[in-house]
């Protein structure tokens, strides 16, 4: 595998279900991100992890719970979601070096989530 991979690619879940999205980066990066992409809206940054530590949580509801066990893996645990949570969830990674300019983020293909 190369780049950033995400599983599953498609997920349909009921409002009472619990599921998890998985992201893995094979680039040796030290930062990982979760984004939500909804139609006609800018990408919404949800969570940021630097060196496995969460550094950003942009007012995301608690029904979304991230987990970063190591610098290569990132999970998004989902429970009691709402229909408006249906969207494409993108994972990204980048290499952060103190004092250097920000490097581009590399994105996975996303998980298309439908909440019924």
Partner 1 sequence: AQSVTQLGSHVSVSEGALVLLRCNYSSSVPPYLFWYVQYPNQGLQLLLKYTTGATLVKGINGFEAEFKKSETSFHLTKPSAHMSDAAEYFCAVSQNTGNQFYFGTGTSLTVIP
Based on CB atoms, which residue is closest to partner 1, 44 or 67? 44
Q: Where are the beta strands (DSSP E) in the chain?
A: 4-7, 10-13, 18-25, 31-37, 44-50, 53-57, 64-70, 73-79, 87-94, 106-107, 111-115
The rounded distance, in Å, linking the Cα atoms of 57 and 74 is 14
> Is 11 within 8 Å of 88 (Cβ atoms)?
no
Place of tokens 């990408």: 43
Stretch that binds partner 1, among 14-22, 67-75, 77-85, 90-98 (CB under 8 A): 90-98
CA separation for the pair 4, 105 (Å, rounded): 10
Tokens at residue 98, please?
């103190």
- Quick check: 60 binds partner 1 (CB under 8 A)? no
The residue within the footprint of partner 1, chosen from 16, 41, 53, 62 (CB under 8 A), is 41
Out of 42, 59, 62, 84, the only residue in the binding site for partner 1 (CB under 8 A) is: 42
Residue 18 C-beta: closest distance to partner 1, Å:
25
Q: Select from 12-20, 44-52, 60-68, 75-83 the region that touches partner 1 (CB under 8 A).
A: 44-52
Residues that bind partner 1 (CB under 8 A): 4, 6, 31, 40-43, 45, 48, 50, 56, 90, 92, 94, 96, 101-102, 104-110
């Amino acid at each position: 595998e190369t780049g950033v991979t995400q599983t599953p690619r498609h997920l349909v879940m009921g409002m009472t279900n619990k599921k998890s999205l998985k992201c893995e980066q094979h680039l040796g990066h030290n930062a990982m991100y979760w984004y939500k992409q909804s139609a006609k809206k800018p990408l919404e940054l949800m969570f940021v992890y630097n060196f496995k530590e969460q550094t950003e949580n942009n007012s995301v509801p608690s029904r979304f719970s991230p987990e970063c066990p190591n610098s290569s893996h990132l999970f998004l645990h989902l429970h009691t979601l709402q229909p408006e949570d249906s969207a494409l969830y993108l994972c990204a990674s980048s290499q952060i070096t103190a004092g250097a300019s920000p490097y581009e983020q590399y994105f996975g293909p996303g998980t298309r989530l439908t909440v019924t």
